[in-house]
A = this chain, B = another copy of it.
Amino acid sequence: MNTPHVYKKIELVGSSQKNIEDAVNNAVERAAETIRHIRWVEVVETRCHVEENRIAYWQVTVRLGFTLEEE
């Protein structure tokens, strides 16, 4: 490790009608459109949006860490 890495963390909220994992995955896929070197995800908060007294979709707040090379 000659030049030490610097990582940036951003906070996203992914959503899914299926489950928690899929909501996280949707956030990662969306981030991967513009960020190249995502390294890890931290799940911060899990919520559900409810419609007509049933869970309509899962909303999961995540923090993504990625290598900061050129911004």
- CB pair B4–A57 under 8 Å, yes or no, is yes
Chain A binding surface, main DSSP class: strand
CB proximity of A32 to chain B, nearest CB, Å: 4
Q: How far is the CA of A24 from the CA of B42 in the complex (A)?
A: 16
The copy count of this chain in the complex is 12
Q: How many residues on chain A are close to B (CB under 8 Å)?
A: 56
Q: How far is the CA of A9 from the CA of B54 in the complex (A)?
A: 16
Q: How far is the CA of A28 from the CA of B42 in the complex (A)?
A: 21
Knowing A49-B40, A50-B39, the reply to whether A4 touches B16 (Cβ < 8 A) is yes
Q: A residues near B, CB below 8 A? A: 1, 4-17, 19-21, 23-28, 30-43, 45-50, 53-58, 61, 63-65, 68, 71
